[in-house]
Structure 1
Amino acid sequence: MSKAIDQLREQLEESEAVIDAIRQGSVDAVVVYHPSEQVYTLKGADYSYRILIEAISEGALVISPSGMVSYCNKRFAEMLKTTPRDLTGSSLYDCMGPGQMSVFKKLLHAGITGSVKGEIKLRAEGGSYLPTRFSISPLLMGDFRGACAVVTDLTEQKLIEEELGKHRSELERLVDMRTEELRKAKDELEHRVTQRTTDLMRANAQLSREILERQQSQVALQGERDNFRKLSDEFHILLNAISDTLILFSPDMEILWTNCEDADRLNDGLSEEVRQCRHGLLRELSAPSEDSPVTRCFNTGEKEVSVLTREGTVLDLRAFPIQEDGKVSRVLLLASDITEKMALQAEAMQACHLATLGELAAGIAHEINNPITGIINCAQILINECRPEQIENDIGLRIVKEGERIARIVRTLLSYARDGQQGQRQAATISELVAESVILTQAQMQKEGIELKTNTLDDLPELDINFQQIQQCFINIINNARFALNEKYPGRHENKILEITGEKVIISDHPYVRIVFHDRGVGISPRDLPLLTKAFFSTKPFGKGTGLGLNITERIITDHGGFLGFESDKGEFTRVMIDLPAKV
């Protein structure tokens, strides 16, 4: 042990002598070999440069890629409150402040390949911390590849910045205080100006009234005539600019006045439907009828309200009596387009009904699933207790099959009612959509004698859709097809067929899946085809259709980036086509 200590002491003395020689410039170079690194000293030929490095006010050092200090000047050692001898050959990582190790490693790594700068907090002897700025550049000397760094002490700069911050805060406080004083002075001045202005306005108003009274006494008659003409012109312009239709009727149902005149110029913002039905509305309302709100208003002398639907446009009709000498001399009719309002109300009611249906379906599913589960279990016991060739075994299998069918129908109904309003989309195939949609309508179609044919290829691309929303569209179209087939064939018939097919198509260089619903029902006239998706338009008799099914269907398909199309021949067939983008 003592021999090893003596050897270490000799090596230490030798190292100290080498370091002194390096600092004095009496040697050209010293190379230290180590398994992981090589350290090169400055050459003695650079002695004048060494004197310059020692004389600068910043710290200077040479660092190996592993962070070992190969050389440092006296100023850098003074920053860390130590000596160059103690720092030379030591790891600079030992002098890092809290959290600075990883920062300095990244900075050193970047400095070996290019010049970089960064702030590092060093830990000096005694545990104090020193803010510094490192300016690191690559250094190549023979086989040595490292970096040289110039270190600037930022302690004084930080103190100055802190002091400046305090002065800045004080200055901001003084500015805010002065600003508040100026604001109060400004408010006071504005108050005085306002008060003075009010006084002047009152005096001016009084003077204007006196002048006006004198003028009115001189030209009273002429002024009244001019004012009346002006007010009349403004009143007519205002009435003609109103988007709603106003009609003034006489007791003989003669139209005395209407703001429909020059409507195309004054009412460019009106919907096309309102323009189209205006003339028809005038003809209908001018004809005497007990159902007309105008006739009722003449008879009762009170305000009458009615709602009229024309070609998908819903009009709110309000008749107001104008009485003279206790009798109704004229009636003013106000017709307002409330189609959009009714559509929003209908959608809200549908959403409410769907939510109620979801709650009811959940309760019904619970009440049905419990006994169905018991029936299936009992049937399974019967199957287990009987031999395969016994009739009881066949009866048990039939009970299990039909019980599972009932459970599936309940699950589908519950999913359709509860999840229809959710916005989540999922991958699905056309086969799945058609199957789930048919479950809820198949029993009714069988009862009505409608033959269902489906041909949806299994290799069609998947769709990224809201399953319940698209299912709702399919059910709407299937129900429309059922109605058309039942209207044409009240009983069973060989042509009472609904065909559902699917195919892949390309639209604008993008893949789509087309679903076609083809029925051989009553068909649709060419005049009604453009109106099919308009809210409240229906080809069904009153009370059998709301006129919202295809409107909602088109909006859902459009939201999915798809298209809805129709082909029909009156009395022959109707073909509904849905194109949905394939999932990429």
Structure 2
Amino acid sequence: MKLPIASNGEKVFDPHHEQDLWVSLNKQYQFLSSIIDEVVDPIIVIGTDFRVKFANRAACNFARDNACVHATEPFCYKLIFDSDQPCAKAGRTCPLIMVLESDTTATIEIEYTLANGATRFFEVQASPLNSRDGEFLGIVESFRDVTDRNKYADILEKGHYELEQRVYDRTEELLKSNNILAEQITRRQEIEKILRAERDKLHSMLMAMKQGMHILNTDFTIEFQNDVLLELLGDTIGRRCYEVYKHRNRPCEHCLMEEAVKTGQVQRAEELMSNNRYFSQSYAPFQDIDGKTKCLILFNDITEEKAYQAKKIRTSQLASIGELAAGVAHEINNPINGIINYAQILLDDIGQRESIRPILNRVISEGERIADIVSKLLSFARQGDEDSQPFTESFVPEVIENSLSLVRHQLIKDGITIAKDIPTDVPTVWVHPQQLEQVFINLLSNARYALNEKYRGKHKNKVLTISVSTQDIAGKTYVRISIKDNGPGIPAEIIEFVCNPFFSTKKSGEGTGLGLSISQGLIKNFNGYLHIKSEPGQFTNILVDLPAYTGA
């Protein structure tokens, strides 16, 4: 809003303009005050004259003198302690004086009697409040109830002392055991110290609003964001939440914001955002100063937790496969070896019955093929700890063939044609062969699923193509493996998410959403790359580039 300009170029005082400006500023003040009132800890602003310039709702409820709450700029010691003397004169520590002397944040602990007569302990944190010009205006005080923490600390200290007394009263033999116990106690104290430091760190982060925060109206429009989300998502004020979070052009089917507003209850979720990171979200409805319902959303980044969960699931899956493979090897290898040996005995003693020689040779050949499949399955399952399974120089066509031997029967049973273009003169690569087999089996299984989704029965276009070639990338030689299917393809709007943990396009119960995520992680561990090219309705082509082994 601009002031009117006179003909001589000077600004003309307009009382209506001043009134509108005052109304606008007051609305902004009321809006910010309503947010601060939602903070559960008491917060007050104290000027250099020891008068309270601002107090949130929690501070007003906290005050001992109710009459003082309604006074204009009451003295801080009157508001909090119902005292007519400043804290310094009454023998109490004054946070304002501490900040003035140190020019930094000061923290003290006070004992306080509530209106109901209960005695509680509070940690008071006072931070300097300066103007834009650096002028010291006063302090901002926050009160945190630490009664339970102190009580538990006293109990722990008392228990520790009593424990030591009992140990010292024991015999010499028990004193030896005490050394072990003392080490355990020391370790427990170290853990408690670490946990306490992490708790205090988390509390400080929350107090400093390090969580991402959005405020939405019921039209799904973002009205406010803090610096955390500004850095993560850019300027999103004025945009729709579903556009920012999900790249959608309409509201989500199960909107948590609508549910929070409808029920008046906080709603929580864990979702993948458009920046490819997972966030836990809390949706809390509240009334704005104009009476309109809004929604406060808090975001916590949990991407690393999701990655750990994915790794844990993968380890569990491999353990299950290992148990299955061990059982298969035990139950099948022995009778297969018996069949092969008996067939060999009959072949050695065939005499004049040459007509059955081809049959016996076929029995031996098929028995050896079954034993080879069991051996490869067992080898694939024995991945275990990466440190105990060193990398080796590996020949990609051989790894592909080992992978196909485990899934070829399923592909043929589903009527899928396997087309291969695999030269024998490609360079070797430096990888963990069983882990590379796992990648190929994941990719082949995904291709099989896609082809079965598009073609329910046999079809001439139901083809899975595997090709191997060499590529020059940034001046280095790479072996490229292409696994292409003529399935339904991947929609363009989700192709960037398909390698994220737990993201799956399969029907519920048919996939974990971990296959591509695990595969991409393994390929990265080989210093390689995994790319996805897809045309919806036409094909999906997974490209794996592995650096050629140079022997260095």
What range describes the TM-score normalised by the shorter chain of this pair?
A: 0.5 to 0.7
SS in structure 2 opposite 1:500?
strand
Over 3 Å counting, the alpha-carbon distance change for 1:579 and 1:301 in structure 2 is closer
SS in structure 2 opposite 1:440?
helix
Question: Which of 319, 325, 332 is equivalent to 1:355?
Answer: 319
Determine whether 1:428 maps to 2:390.
no
Q: In the alignment, what sits opposite 2:212?
A: 244
Over 3 Å counting, the alpha-carbon distance change for 1:449 and 1:245 in structure 2 is farther
Paired amino acid for 1:345: Q
Quote how far apart the aligned CAs of 1:579 are: 1.6
Q: In the alignment, what sits opposite 1:159?
A: none
Q: In 2, distance between residues paired with 1:209 and 1:504?
A: 74
Q: In 2, distance between residues paired with 1:510 and 1:302?
A: 57
Q: In the alignment, what sits opposite 1:571?
A: 537
Quote how far apart the aligned CAs of 1:376 are: 1.8
List per-residue Cα deviations over 1:526-580 (Å, max 9, x = no partner).
3333333333333334443333322222222222222222322222222222221
Quote how far apart the aligned CAs of 1:269 are: 4.6
Quote how far apart the aligned CAs of 1:402 are: 1.9
Q: In 1, distance between residues paired with 2:95 and 2:548?
A: 81
The answer to whether the Cα contact below 8 Å between 2:212 and 2:229 also exists between their aligned partners in 1 is no
Q: In 2, distance between residues paired with 1:535 and 1:239?
A: 31
* Alignment TM-score, normalising by the size of structure 1: 0.51
Q: In 2, distance between residues paired with 1:267 and 1:283?
A: 15
Quote how far apart the aligned CAs of 1:358 are: 1.2
Over 3 Å counting, the alpha-carbon distance change for 1:283 and 1:474 in structure 2 is closer
Q: In 1, distance between residues paired with 2:354 and 2:535?
A: 55
Quote how far apart the aligned CAs of 1:438 are: 0.6
Aligned length: 357
Q: In 2, distance between residues paired with 1:297 and 1:535?
A: 28
Q: In the alignment, what sits opposite 1:316?
A: 280
List per-residue Cα deviations over 1:238-258 (Å, max 9, x = no partner).
789433345588xxx678997
Q: In the alignment, what sits opposite 1:451?
A: 417
Paired amino acid for 1:437: S
Question: Which of 385, 399, 418 is equivalent to 2:349?
Answer: 385
Q: In the alignment, what sits opposite 1:480?
A: 446
Quote how far apart the aligned CAs of 1:502 are: 1.3
For structure 1, the 5+ residue unaligned runs are 1-201, 213-226, 324-328
Q: In the alignment, what sits opposite 1:506?
A: 472
Q: In 1, distance between residues paired with 2:502 and 2:417?
A: 30
Over 3 Å counting, the alpha-carbon distance change for 1:429 and 1:304 in structure 2 is same
Q: In 1, distance between residues paired with 2:325 and 2:207?
A: 52
* Alignment TM-score, normalising by the size of structure 2: 0.54
Q: In 2, distance between residues paired with 1:433 and 1:394?
A: 31
Q: In 2, distance between residues paired with 1:557 and 1:322?
A: 47
List per-residue Cα deviations over 1:253-308 (Å, max 9, x = no partner).
67899753xx4x454553689999944478999x9999555666677776654444
SS in structure 2 opposite 1:407?
helix
Question: Which of 536, 540, 551 is equivalent to 2:502?
Answer: 536
The answer to whether the Cα contact below 8 Å between 1:564 and 1:576 also exists between their aligned partners in 2 is yes
Over 3 Å counting, the alpha-carbon distance change for 1:564 and 1:208 in structure 2 is closer
Q: In the alignment, what sits opposite 1:438?
A: 404
SS in structure 2 opposite 1:206?
coil
Q: In the alignment, what sits opposite 2:485?
A: 519
Quote how far apart the aligned CAs of 1:405 are: 1.6
Q: In the alignment, what sits opposite 1:68?
A: none
Q: In 2, distance between residues paired with 1:414 and 1:273?
A: 53
Over 3 Å counting, the alpha-carbon distance change for 1:278 and 1:228 in structure 2 is farther
Q: In 2, distance between residues paired with 1:378 and 1:414?
A: 25
Q: In the alignment, what sits opposite 2:73?
A: none
Q: How does 1:127-206 map to 2 (within 5 A)?
A: 206=91
Q: In 1, distance between residues paired with 2:513 and 2:310?
A: 10
SS in structure 2 opposite 1:270?
helix
Quote how far apart the aligned CAs of 1:499 are: 1.4
Question: Which of 232, 235, 252 is equivalent to 1:270?
Answer: 232
Quote how far apart the aligned CAs of 1:447 are: 0.9
Quote how far apart the aligned CAs of 1:433 are: 0.8
Question: Which of 340, 343, 351 is equivalent to 1:376?
Answer: 340
List per-residue Cα deviations over 1:301-333 (Å, max 9, x = no partner).
76654444566654434456889xxxxx99765
The answer to whether the Cα contact below 8 Å between 1:460 and 1:504 also exists between their aligned partners in 2 is yes
Determine whether 1:339 maps to 2:224.
no
Paired amino acid for 2:531: G
Q: In the alignment, what sits opposite 2:514?
A: 548
The answer to whether the Cα contact below 8 Å between 2:242 and 2:252 also exists between their aligned partners in 1 is no
Q: Give the helix-richer structure, 1 or 2.
A: 1
SS in structure 2 opposite 1:355?
helix
Quote how far apart the aligned CAs of 1:517 are: 1.4
Over 3 Å counting, the alpha-carbon distance change for 1:551 and 1:277 in structure 2 is farther
Q: In 1, distance between residues paired with 2:499 and 2:353?
A: 57
SS in structure 1 opposite 2:320?
helix
The answer to whether the Cα contact below 8 Å between 1:379 and 1:399 also exists between their aligned partners in 2 is yes
Question: Which of 385, 403, 409 is equivalent to 2:373?
Answer: 409
Q: In the alignment, what sits opposite 2:290?
A: none
The answer to whether the Cα contact below 8 Å between 1:518 and 1:573 also exists between their aligned partners in 2 is yes
Quote how far apart the aligned CAs of 1:487 are: 1.6
List per-residue Cα deviations over 1:412-471 (Å, max 9, x = no partner).
111111125434111111221111111111111011111112222122111111111211
Paired amino acid for 2:335: P
Q: In 2, distance between residues paired with 1:210 and 1:349?
A: 51
Over 3 Å counting, the alpha-carbon distance change for 1:450 and 1:228 in structure 2 is farther
Q: In the alignment, what sits opposite 1:467?
A: 433
Quote how far apart the aligned CAs of 1:373 are: 1.4
Q: In 1, distance between residues paired with 2:386 and 2:458?
A: 39
The answer to whether the Cα contact below 8 Å between 1:248 and 1:332 also exists between their aligned partners in 2 is yes
Paired amino acid for 1:427: E
The answer to whether the Cα contact below 8 Å between 1:289 and 1:295 also exists between their aligned partners in 2 is no
List per-residue Cα deviations over 1:330-372 (Å, max 9, x = no partner).
9765443433322221211211221232133213211221122
SS in structure 1 opposite 2:337?
helix
Paired amino acid for 1:563: Y
Over 3 Å counting, the alpha-carbon distance change for 1:340 and 1:259 in structure 2 is farther
Paired amino acid for 2:467: T
The answer to whether the Cα contact below 8 Å between 2:419 and 2:463 also exists between their aligned partners in 1 is yes
Q: In 1, distance between residues paired with 2:140 and 2:93?
A: 22
Over 3 Å counting, the alpha-carbon distance change for 1:228 and 1:496 in structure 2 is farther
Q: In 1, distance between residues paired with 2:240 and 2:515?
A: 23
Quote how far apart the aligned CAs of 1:489 are: 1.2
Quote how far apart the aligned CAs of 1:390 are: 4.5
Q: In 2, distance between residues paired with 1:517 and 1:278?
A: 37
